[in-house]
């Protein structure tokens, strides 16, 4: 399951959803409504450095790059990254695990995630939060969208999962929502988390 979402290395024989078309379940060909709603508030109008975790086909980081952000999309799917580079030449793309990013400490202003976090187990979520905290500058923000179902089944995640994982972060907003893709909607939580300044 993690390999499907571009979180851990894919074993031989595991179908890449960007080759099989399964990615249509979560892919959105336009920037997400929640990103559009919070973009200017996240930066006070000044684009900086943005990273899209599990970027897939690069829609969101491509949008941010076109708006003046220095954008990097990371994923483990070579097929997704190849297509993203072609579709969004203004952004950079790298094959990387979300728990070990090829970025300097404190170098990022904004991170976005619309589908990686909910595929991680408890240890993986803590590693994710540590790495996001390392890479984000003090006061940097994470726009996190996590689905409440994985493979169509409830996954046991909720607002408490976010608060426990990011216990020392400031929570600027948390709300239940319907996460849209090109083919469906999925029950989800959207949160804006602020990295501690200390």
φ/ψ of 28, rounded to 5, equals -125, 120
- Here the CATH number for the domain that contains residue 150 is 3.40.50.150
Burial of 8 (0-12, 13-18, 19+ CB in 10 A): middle
Over residues 134-189, the pLDDT tens digits come to: 999 999 999 999 999 877 789 999 999 999 999 999 999 999 999 998 888 999 99
Residue 45: pLDDT band (50, 70, 90) is low
The residue range of the domain holding 123 is: 3-194
Task: Kindly give the pairing relationship between strand 185-194 and strand 136-147.
Answer: antiparallel
Domain count, the chain: 1
């Amino acid at each position: 399951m993690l390999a499907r979402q571009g979180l851990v290395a894919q074993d031989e024989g595991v179908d890449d959803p960007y080759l099989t078309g399964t990615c249509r379940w979560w892919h959105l060909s336009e920037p997400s409504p929640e990103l559009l709603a919070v973009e200017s508030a996240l930066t006070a109008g000044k684009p900086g450095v943005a990273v899209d975790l599990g970027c897939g086909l690069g829609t969101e980081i491509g949008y941010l790059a076109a708006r003046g952000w220095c954008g990097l999309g990371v994923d483990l799917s070579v097929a997704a990254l190849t297509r993203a580079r072609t579709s969004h030449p203004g952004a950079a793309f790298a094959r990387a695990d979300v728990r070990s990013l090829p970025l300097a400490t404190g170098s990022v202003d904004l991170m976005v995630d619309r589908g990686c976090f909910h595929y991680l187990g408890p240890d993986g979520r803590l590693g994710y939060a540590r790495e996001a905290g390392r890479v984000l500058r003090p006061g940097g923000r994470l726009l996190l969208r996590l689905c409440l179902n994985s493979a169509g089944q409830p996954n046991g995640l909720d607002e408490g999962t976010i608060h426990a994982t990011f216990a020392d972060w400031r929570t600027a907003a948390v709300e239940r929502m319907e996460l849209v893709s090109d083919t469906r909607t999925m029950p989800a939580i959207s949160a804006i988390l602020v990295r501690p300044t200390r």
